[in-house]
């Protein structure tokens, strides 16, 4: 009996979801489709069913929505790295801003001022990525996962990866094909600095001398630094260490700062937008020289050192020992050790120690939001102003409601399009304590 292919259904798209997917209904079932826009009549190949929702990929309809554009990447929509390449860029940004404001309204939070969206380069902005590797026959595929699938997309270029990474994809595929066991390489991670670019190759079996020689040759010809990972992140080591032994680095010229980092450290995906985000965060605090700020989820000091350069005293807290050590070294590198100190703290643990009093608070948490300690962090009478940087509008809106209940007003908010052509967006909100409100509200 022939294997049945994916089911095809005809639907009319009603709205665009938070994730940039066209939403429709078919026989009382919710349908979410890639490559679909509101008002379009589309044929959808159903690729996944989960909790009563059907997920699929829409064929481009003959009658197209007014905001549809021809995707600039030939691998869209099959490649799951982008969700919105079929949407004209101004409409993408409006949608992200609308999603944020809708989520805030759901939480009964009304910002006093909504900033204009901040945008930057649309292409080749992505300096951090994790790509899957999968052997199909004798050919290893290297790329993002396909939409609604664990399969690796077939791609030899990418419009969002930084150019050095996009250009070396064909050579990376060739060298992986030459390894003794290419089927034992499940993924590669990419991390770029201003001048140096690194690739971390995850391998499940030990690599022999011949494999190491092939990878060294690839690194030399492509100009990347190549790292090997045999287990967890603690096993990552450079295959052929550079003579200077320094890590990757990026600069923030607005504040005269240089940051060194390892390819496994968290850094912002988009360095061009990161500079604009850091500048906006510092300005939103309206800092008074010598005042103290607590920087939570501080990472390697991305915001901390800019705040210190602006004249604040900074205490940074982070759960990763490596990031705390790197933040301290970056402070020393930039002559700011006296202004910025860093400490290890599990900020999601309800037993997390109390924070020292500070006039300002900066939050840059993971997608899961600020966590259980938010109310404790903002209880101090000394705290006047909070800047919250978020990569998840939904948890930002929920935390904004919590801050509102603690006596803080959302003075201004806006989106920074850190991830063009995807549904992800960065949000910056500034909260101020309402006059006459005590720490008990």
For residue 339, give Cα distances in angstroms to 15, 305, 306, 310, 385.
Answer: 49, 9, 11, 10, 20
User: 225-229 and 237-238 as β-strands: parallel, antiparallel, unpaired?
Assistant: antiparallel
Q: Is 391 a catalytic residue?
A: yes
For the chain, how many residues are written? 441
Contact 327, 298 (CB under 8 A): yes
CA distance 183 to 181: 5
Which strands sit side by side in the sheet containing 237-238, from one edge to the other?
A: 139-143, 128-136, 187-192, 197-202, 225-229, 237-238
Contact partners, residue 327, CB within 8 Å, separation at least 6: 298, 299, 300, 301, 304, 316, 318, 340, 342
Bond before 77 cis per omega within 30 degrees: yes
3-state secondary structure of 139: strand
Provide the β-strand partners of residue 23. 15, 32
Write down the residue that tokens 């052509």 correspond to. 421
Distance CA 226, CA 190 (A): 10
Look up residue 436 and give its two tokens. 């006459």
Distances (CA, A) of 83 to 158, 243, 283: 14, 41, 32
Secondary-structure percent of the chain, ordered helix, strand, coil, rounded to 5: 25, 30, 45
Q: Which of 82, 158, 298, 391 is catalytic?
A: 391
Helix (H) or strand (E) segment spanning residue 174: helix 163-178
Q: Distance between CA 142 and CA 132 in Å, rounded? A: 6
The helix (H) or strand (E) run that includes residue 432 is strand 426-433
**Residues known to be catalytic:** 391
């Amino acid at each position: 009996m022939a294997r049945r292919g994916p089911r095809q259904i005809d639907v009319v798209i009603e709205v665009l979801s938070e994730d940039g997917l066209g939403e429709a209904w078919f026989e009382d079932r919710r349908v979410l489709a890639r490559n679909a826009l509101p008002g379009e009549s589309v044929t959808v190949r159903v690729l996944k069913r989960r909790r009563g929702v059907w997920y699929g990929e829409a064929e481009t309809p003959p009658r197209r929505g007014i905001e549809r554009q021809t995707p600039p990447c030939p691998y869209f929509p099959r490649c799951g790295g982008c969700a919105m390449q079929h949407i004209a860029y101004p409409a993408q940004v409006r949608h992200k801003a609308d999603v944020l404001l809708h989520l805030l309204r759901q939480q009964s939070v009304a910002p006093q001022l909504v900033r204009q969206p901040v945008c930057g380069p649309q292409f080749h902005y992505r300096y951090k990525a994790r790509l899957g590797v999968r052997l199909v026959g004798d050919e290893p595929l290297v790329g993002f996962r396909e939409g609604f699938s664990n399969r690796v997309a077939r791609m030899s270029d990418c419009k969002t990866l930084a150019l050095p990474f996009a250009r070396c994809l064909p050579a990376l595929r060739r060298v992986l094909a030459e390894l003794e066991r290419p089927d034992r390489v499940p993924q590669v991670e990419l991390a770029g600095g201003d001048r140096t670019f690194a690739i971390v190759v995850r391998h499940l079996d030990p690599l022999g001398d011949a494999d190491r020689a092939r990878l060294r040759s690839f690194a030399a010809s492509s100009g990347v630094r190549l790292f090997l990972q045999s287990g967890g992140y603690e096993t990552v080591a450079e295959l052929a260490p550079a003579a200077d032994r320094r890590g990757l680095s990026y600069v923030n010229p607005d504040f005269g700062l240089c940051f060194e980092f390892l390819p496994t450290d968290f850094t912002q995906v988009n360095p061009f937008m990161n500079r604009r985000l850091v500048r906006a965060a510092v300005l939103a605090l309206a800092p008074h020289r010598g005042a103290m700020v607590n920087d939570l989820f501080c990472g390697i000091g991305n915001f901390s050192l800019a705040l210190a350069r602006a004249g604040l005293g900074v205490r940074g807290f982070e759960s990763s020992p490596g990031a705390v050590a790197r933040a301290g070294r970056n402070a020393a590198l930039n002559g700011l050790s006296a202004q910025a100190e860093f400490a290890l703290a599990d900020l999601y643990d309800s037993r997390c120690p109390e924070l020292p009093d500070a006039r300002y608070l900066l939050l840059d948490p993971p997608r899961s939001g600020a966590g259980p300690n938010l109310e404790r962090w903002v209880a101090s009478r000394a705290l006047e102003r909070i800047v919250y940087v978020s990569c998840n509008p939904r948890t930002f809106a929920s935390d904004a409601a919590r801050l509102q209940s603690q006596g803080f007003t959302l003075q201004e908010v806006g989106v920074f399009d850190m991830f063009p052509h995807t549904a992800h967006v960065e949000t910056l909100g500034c909260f101020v304590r309402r006059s006459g409100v005590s720490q008990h509200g």
